[in-house]
A and B are shown apart, each in its own frame.
Chain A
């Protein structure tokens, strides 16, 4: 792997290899000394052109636990807010000696552009690009599912598991990355959303699509992933009639959660709108692995940085 841009670039073997490394990274995080010398001497730049708290902090923690130096470069308070182009930013980062760039942008394709433009030679990690992909989030979701439900599959993947992803699929890079990764690992995925919040192309994705949450939950899924309704991207409105109706039809209420099989998990990539797409009692309930997802995010991002930086692959690839 030279870059980590899209789940579509990964083979199943590569995805399983990153998950296996994540498992070892997670093990190191329960030791008395959690810091590892693995990436000492390398510099990771977090280039965040869109607001993000948990993903930036997660990448920062991951890089620091591996002893990399971290430079945070965010839109506010940088030359990006003065209108500097992505190209000039990339040339600056290259000149400053960045060994890897973690990029978050509201523009779909920004990470791909950075990786393939020739402006910068270093590995690029996509930390979310517009409504396209958020591959490390999908990896941490798959990692969380595998930790809890891996015993049911008997494989290194998620074979035979059924995962229902509910909510604002249209604006969700998390949904797209998850559909690709979970199906790559052998799981069956059902997307549930009101028609206006489903992308037109989702018919071609390796998943089933439903408008009826209760019908999907009646199939007894192994996990339900609730997505945040991204109101900041709903310019013009008209995606659903009222918040109350959305919550009634597509929210994970206590009553709906109670109908799930005993072993079923509830996931949410955060940040949550409690009481809207998910009831507070469900988010805090025994099925919820939402806090664990955050902890697993650090382990998975350590693994991704390790796979990109701790080898001679870059010399071989060039």
Chain B
């Protein structure tokens, strides 16, 4: 584990909540009502973030919270990664597409950290096998820079200038029991995508 002395908290639970609320409203201001939207979280931590954004959007539009599964799902990218042969076997996670599908709707991809952009490239590839959205947008909780592909986010919770040797860790209630974003000074390059 990281030495506590080298780990800095960047976002706490309140800041994460505010960032997600702002992103949810930005998405709605883009002119999309919940009927035209699909939020797809990228496993693992993009999935609860997409659910939280969807819950906020439903609340803002005064719709019942039980419509969440019509709005939010998950998009696994494992089978589309370009680095499978550089790591041990990765277990694919479920892809859950809301019943309305993605054709003709605006898909917002949701992930925790935007780094090289390779995850998003794989997600765009995976999405094209599922349908043809009217548009695809990208929302991330943290953009830490160091892009390796021409990809940018439409909605960013926090821009976080980092060096490649640092490690950004997002922890969420649903997956880790706590909401926080930390940055750790590492000695070697992080492989966080």
Interface residues of A (CB under 8 A from B): 1, 17, 20-21, 23-25, 27-28, 31-38, 66, 306-307, 310-313, 316
Once the chains bind, are B93 and A24 in contact (CB under 8 Å)?
Answer: yes
The majority secondary structure among interface residues of chain B is: loop
Once the chains bind, are B128 and A33 in contact (CB under 8 Å)?
Answer: yes
Once the chains bind, are A36 and B89 in contact (CB under 8 Å)?
Answer: no
With both beta carbons as reference points, the residue of chain A lying nearest to B86 in the complex is identified as: A312
Is B92 positioned at the interface, with any CB of A under 8 Å from its CB?
Answer: yes
Is B64 positioned at the interface, with any CB of A under 8 Å from its CB?
Answer: no
Q: Which A residues are CB-close (under 8 A) to B80? A: 36-38
Q: Which B residues are CB-close (under 8 A) to A23? A: 94
Once the chains bind, are B92 and A311 in contact (CB under 8 Å)?
Answer: no
How far, in whole Å, are A306 and B129 apart by their CA atoms in the complex?
18
Question: Which of A31, A307, A316 is within 8 Å of B129, CB to CB?
Answer: A31
How far, in whole Å, are A37 and B79 apart by their CA atoms in the complex?
7
User: Which chain B residues numbered 94 to 142 have a C-beta less than 8 Å away from chain A?
Assistant: 94-95, 125, 128-131
Once the chains bind, are A24 and B85 in contact (CB under 8 Å)?
Answer: no
Once the chains bind, are B92 and A21 in contact (CB under 8 Å)?
Answer: yes
How far, in whole Å, are A20 and B76 apart by their CA atoms in the complex?
14
User: Which chain B residues numbered 56 to 95 have a C-beta less than 8 Å away from chain A?
Assistant: 76, 78-80, 84-95
6 A-B pairs with CB atoms under 8 Å apart are A33-B130, A36-B79, A37-B80, A66-B79, A311-B85, A313-B88
How far, in whole Å, are A27 and B80 apart by their CA atoms in the complex?
15
Q: Which B residues are CB-close (under 8 A) to A21? A: 91-92
Beyond A36-B80, A307-B89, A311-B84, 17 additional pairs, beta carbon < 8 A: A1-B89, A23-B94, A24-B76, A24-B78, A27-B95, A33-B128, A33-B130, A66-B79, A306-B92, A311-B85, A311-B87, A311-B88, A311-B90, A312-B86, A312-B88, A313-B89, A316-B88
Q: Given A27-B94, A32-B130, A36-B129, does the pair A311, B89 have CB atoms closer than 8 Å?
A: yes
How far, in whole Å, are A21 and B87 apart by their CA atoms in the complex?
17
User: Which chain B residues numbered 19 to 50 have a C-beta less than 8 Å away from chain A?
Assistant: none
Q: Which B residues are CB-close (under 8 A) to A66? A: 79
Closest 7 CB pairs of A and B: A24-B92, A311-B89, A33-B129, A310-B84, A38-B79, A36-B79, A311-B88
With both beta carbons as reference points, the residue of chain B lying nearest to A23 in the complex is identified as: B94
Least CB distance, A97 to chain B, in whole angstroms? 15
Once the chains bind, are A32 and B129 in contact (CB under 8 Å)?
Answer: yes
Least CB distance, A162 to chain B, in whole angstroms? 29
